[in-house]
Amino acid sequence: MAKINLRPWREELRAERQRQFVTSLAGVAIIALGLGFLWHQQVLRQIDYQEQRNNFIRSEMAQLEKQIKEIQNLKEKRKALIERMRVIQDLQGKRPVIVRIFDELVRTLPDGVYYTSLSREGDVLKISGLGESNSRISNLMRNLDKSDWFAEPNLTSVKAAEDGDREGMSAFDLTVRLETPETSDAKSKARS
């Protein structure tokens, strides 16, 4: 006897194919969602990594800025110390000069002339004193002019002393420019 299949085989085949298609579509959708999720996680990790790098760079920049400020402060302190050292060296270098100036003031002072005050402003020495006569004051001016340590003596005033103990004496004020022998030698060489 012949077997006749009365079931709708075409519809079953179509239904089976439909089920396979939906299953495949669901699998592809799940895989796509999984890949999308993995891609999203990777992007988030990269963003976190970049933010960490940016934060590290910011912290390093802040440290470098602090170091730059410290270096600038150290440079300013160094400059101030160098300036102090220069001033101290200048003072130490001038110490013998000051002693020599006082020694030269004593050497140029003739008998009968006395200093009452000395003051210095830069390279100008202001001298006040008393002299027994105008000729002795003139002698002092000549001695100062001959000295290697003084130049351009200028008598600003001469008057009779007003103090009762110093009757007959003349009070004088004069200025003289200080000059070290080295600078006067250099000037004379430059002139010739």
Same domain for 69 and 131? no
Same domain for 116 and 187? yes
pLDDT tens, residue by residue, 67-116: 999 999 999 999 999 999 998 888 777 677 778 888 888 888 888 888 88
Q: Of 74, 90, 108, which closes a domain?
A: 108
Same domain for 66 and 43? yes
Same domain for 102 and 146? no
pTM (two decimals): 0.49
**Helices assigned H by DSSP within the chain:** 9-108, 134-146, 181-191
Same domain for 141 and 79? no
Same domain for 96 and 122? no
Maximum mean pLDDT: which of 20-29, 106-115, 178-187? 20-29
Domain of 94? 39-108
Kindly provide the b/e burial profile for residues 139-164, where b requires at least 16 CB atoms within 10 angstroms of the residue's own CB: bbbebbeebebbbebebeeeeebeee
Look at residue 116 and tell me if it is in a domain.
Answer: yes
Same domain for 63 and 104? yes
Q: How confident is the model at residue 166 (pLDDT cuts 50, 70, 90)?
A: low
Does 174 have pLDDT greater than 60?
Answer: yes
Ramachandran area for residue 111 (φ above 0: left; ψ -120 to 50: alpha; else beta): beta
Please compute the mean of the pLDDT values over residues 1-10 and round it to a whole number: 73
Same domain for 62 and 117? no
Look at residue 8 and tell me if it is in a domain.
Answer: no
Same domain for 74 and 131? no
Between vectors from CA 105 to CA 161 and to CA 149, what angle results, nearest 5°? 130
Q: Of 49, 84, 108, which closes a domain?
A: 108
Percent of the chain at pLDDT exceeding 90:
41
Q: Is there a contact between 172 and 128 (Cβ–Cβ < 8 Å)?
A: yes
Please compute the mean of the pLDDT values over residues 160-185 and round it to a whole number: 76
Distance, CA of 10 to CA of 27 (rounded, Å) = 25
